[in-house]
Amino acid sequence: MIDPHDLAECRRAIEHGSRSFYAASKLLPRKVADPAMALYAFCRLADDAVDLSQEKAAAVLSLRDRIDLAYKGTPRDAAADRAFTAMIHDFDMPREYPEALLEGLAWDATDRRYANISELRDYSARVASAVGAMMCVLMGVRDADALSRACDLGVAMQLTNIARDVGEDAHEKRLYLPLDWMAELGVDPEAFLADPQATPEIREITRRLLVEATKLYERSEAGISRLPLSSRPGIYGARFIYSGIGRKIAHAQFNSINTRARTSGREKVGLLGLSVLRTLGSAVLPQSAILHARPLPEVAFLVEAGASKQGVASSGWGEGRGGAVVGILAQLEQRDRARNAAI
């Protein structure tokens, strides 16, 4: 069980660091909301540790060690780590999921760029769909169809985040826009990073990202009907709040350079009300055939990890997809040693 004091610390971290999830979590039942707070606090703080650090390689390697300690049952002495460890124990969380998140954050640390939308979905699968799959586990749902649609929602939310943060990322010299789209529209990546402007071409790329996200939001809804009825309003809430951010971007003519889209508190309340109504409808309407659509190829490994193991967590980096992470971590360790030697 998660210690109440640790849970309170996690809740405070989420309230200030991830307001959209915090709002949606108010509609989740306590037995799901509490471990979800532990999950999101650990993931959010891990993302911030890498994103905001001047020493990204060291931050990723530290996160690797924190995950190791959590799965050994000996967490670092911090509220988020202790709560995350308790969540792993209580729900037999497959280790492949935090490993996938770690891999995505390692890609961030190496300033990886994405050749096309498929590679961007690969990234989104790791930093967002892995969290969506973990949420399914917290709700006691592990069937492949539900996991596939949860992963759709994760990719959609991450594409929305990328579309919202085009300007903020560019000013930090980060680039997540598909390089083939940039080449097609005549946008030079280095020139854009040197002087980010909301040109018609950049707005078009932002629009395309949101078109991709919208398709996946629509697919994801079919999976919500597989969740326990008490959990559906919270997941609908997350879906509507994030897609609402996309609508704000569209209203600004897809300009994410000079503005940052966000939903107001009043708008969140309205969207949460819509979530309750949609839940009532989902309880009486027949299931959509979209529920059984094949998973995106980029998220298939996440679906397999949850559906095939039925909660049996792997025990080390050499098992499951852990081996896929080892190579990039070795690169980061080499970079970290070289940096330390140069100091």
Structure confidence by residue, pLDDT tens digits, 189-247 = 999 999 999 999 999 999 999 999 999 999 999 999 999 999 999 999 999 999 999 99
**Above 80 in pLDDT, residue 43?**
yes
Q: How far is CA 105 from CA 43, 47, 170, in A?
A: 10, 7, 18
Count how many domains the chain has: 1
Q: Give the model's pLDDT for residue 343.
A: 62
Four-residue CA torsion sign, 98, 160, 184, 298: positive
Residue 183 lies in a domain: yes
Determine contact, residues 167/257, Cβ cutoff 8 Å.
yes
Residue 244 lies in a domain: yes
- Spatial separation of the C-alpha atoms in residues 103 and 324, rounded to whole Å: 8
Amino acid at the residue 120: L
- In the chain, the percentage of residues whose pLDDT exceeds 70 is 92
pLDDT tens per residue, range 90-135: 999 999 999 999 999 999 988 899 999 999 999 999 999 999 999 9
- Tally Cβ neighbours within 10 Å of residue 33: 18
pLDDT tens per residue, range 59-102: 888 899 999 999 999 999 999 999 999 999 999 999 999 999 99
CATH code, domain carrying 118: 1.10.600.10
Average pLDDT over residues 328-341: 72
Residue 38 lies in a domain: no
Q: Give the model's pLDDT for residue 313.
A: 43
Residue 32 lies in a domain: no
Residue 61 lies in a domain: no
pLDDT tens per residue, range 267-307: 888 988 888 888 888 776 777 889 999 999 999 999 999 98
**Above 70 in pLDDT, residue 336?**
no
For residue 7, give every residue at least 6 positions away whose Cβ sits within 8 Å of its Cβ, in sequence order, or none. Answer: 34, 37, 38, 83
Residue 249 lies in a domain: yes
Q: In which band, very low, low, confident or very high, does the pLDDT at 340 lie, cut at 50, 70 and 90? A: low
On the 0-12 / 13-18 / 19+ scale of CB atoms within 10 A, 113 is middle
- Tally Cβ neighbours within 10 Å of residue 69: 15
Structure tokens at 337: 């040693």
Residue 79 lies in a domain: no
User: Domain residues for 265?
Assistant: 92-342
Q: Give the model's pLDDT for residue 15.
A: 84
Q: Give the model's pLDDT for residue 318.
A: 43
Q: Give the model's pLDDT for residue 3.
A: 95
Q: How far is CA 331 from CA 57, 193, 328, 334, in A?
A: 9, 25, 5, 5
Residue 182 lies in a domain: yes
pTM of the model: 0.89
- Spatial separation of the C-alpha atoms in residues 106 and 112, rounded to whole Å: 9
Q: Give the model's pLDDT for residue 322.
A: 53
- Tally Cβ neighbours within 10 Å of residue 267: 17
- Spatial separation of the C-alpha atoms in residues 184 and 338, rounded to whole Å: 37
